[in-house]
Amino acid sequence: MSTENIKTGPEQSIGGIPQLSLDCVIFGFHDSSLKVLLLKWKDIGEWSLPGGYIKQTESVDDAAIRVLKERTALDKIFLRQFYTFGKVKRYDNELIKKKLAHLVSDHIWLDRVVSVGYYALVDYEKVFPTPDRFTESCDWVDLDDVPELLFDHNEILTKALKALRLELSFQPIGLNLLPDKFTMPDMLRMYEAILDKKIDPRNFQKKILKTGIVIRLPEVKKGVAHKSPYLYKFDKKRYTEVLEEGGLFFV
C-alpha cells in the first residue's frame, strides 16, 4: 500500500486497476552510506515507501517509471521488479485507517491490495525528492536509521535489500549508484554499504582494475584530508560485456 494507492477508491480510481498497486524502494548512495527515499505523512510524522496504482492504460513497468519520476524528477532510472506482495492480510487495516483518518475517507479503503515490488538505483546527487499531496516531505534516510514504516513497508524494504545483494554481481550497480566520476574508495564503500561488511581494499582495487570496467582519469579528488585519490569513470561498454560474460564475482 502507498500514498498514491489510496487517493481514490476502486470506483473512483481514475483508470486504475482495483486492488493492484506497486511499491518502490529507491536506493541512493552518499557519504559512504546506502540511503532509501521515504515519504513522511502529513500531521502524524510517520513514513512509508513511494508507490501507486497501476493504470488500465499502462504496463506495470511503465507505472513504476511514472511513480519514480514523480518522486525523483528523473526520466531514466534503473529499476528491477523483485517480489509480489500478495498475502490476504498484509497489515492491520483498522490501525492504518485510524492513523490516516484525517487524510483518507473510510470508504476508500480496500479489504485487500496486491502490490508489485520494485527497487530502483539512482545517483543521489541528481534526485529532486518530491512529496505528494498526502505527505509533507520526501527525504533520504540512511538505511540504518529507517524507522517503523506504515503498512508492510519494512518487510518490502528488507526483501528489496536482499534482492539487491543477490543481484550485486549481475547488475550494473555502481553505474547507477555512483556519480559520473568517483574514486576507488568511493566504489569500495558502496559495496561495503550494500553488503554490510568490510572488504579488503587492496584485493578489491586489484580485482576491479583487472575487469577493465573502470577508466582512471588524469585528475584527482580535491578537498580530502590525505593523499588525493585518482578519479575514475565506468567504461559502459566493457561493464556490459563483463556482466553478460558471467558477472562480477569478486565480493
Q: Where are the domains of the chain?
A: 4-166, 173-245
The CATH superfamily assigned to 4-166 is Nucleoside Triphosphate Pyrophosphohydrolase (3.90.79.10)
Comparing 12-16, 118-122, 127-131, 230-234, the range with the smallest average pLDDT is 12-16
173-245 and 4-166 share a CATH fold: no
Q: Supply the pLDDT for residue 3.
A: 46
> 3-class secondary structure for the chain?
CCCHHHCCCHHHCCCEEEEEEEEEEEEEEECCEEEEEEEEECCCCCEECCEEEEECCCCHHHHHHHHHHHHHCCCCCEEEEEEEECCCCCCCHHHHHHHCCCCCCHHHCCCCCEEEEEEEECCHHHCCCCCCCCEEEEEEEEHHHCCCECCCHHHHHHHHHHHHHHCCCCCCHHHHHCCCCEEHHHHHHHHHHHHCCCCCHHHHHHHHHHHCCEEEEEEECCCCCCCCCEEEEECHHHHHHHHHHCCCCCC
Q: What is the mean pLDDT of residues 197-219?
A: 95
Q: Supply the pLDDT for residue 97.
A: 81
Query: Residue 239: pLDDT band by 50, 70, 90 thresholds?
Result: very high
All three cell numbers of 169: 554481481
Q: Supply the pLDDT for residue 246.
A: 85
- Does the pLDDT at position 109 exceed 90? no
- Does the pLDDT at position 5 exceed 70? no
Q: Supply the pLDDT for residue 22.
A: 95
pTM above 0.85, yes or no: yes
Looking at per-residue pLDDT, the higher value among 132 and 64 belongs to: 64
CATH number of 173-245: 1.10.10.10
- Does the pLDDT at position 11 exceed 70? no
All three cell numbers of 135: 505527505
Q: Supply the pLDDT for residue 8.
A: 37
Q: Supply the pLDDT for residue 225.
A: 60
Cβ neighbourhood burial of 71 (10 Å; 0-12, 13-18, 19+): buried
All three cell numbers of 232: 575514475
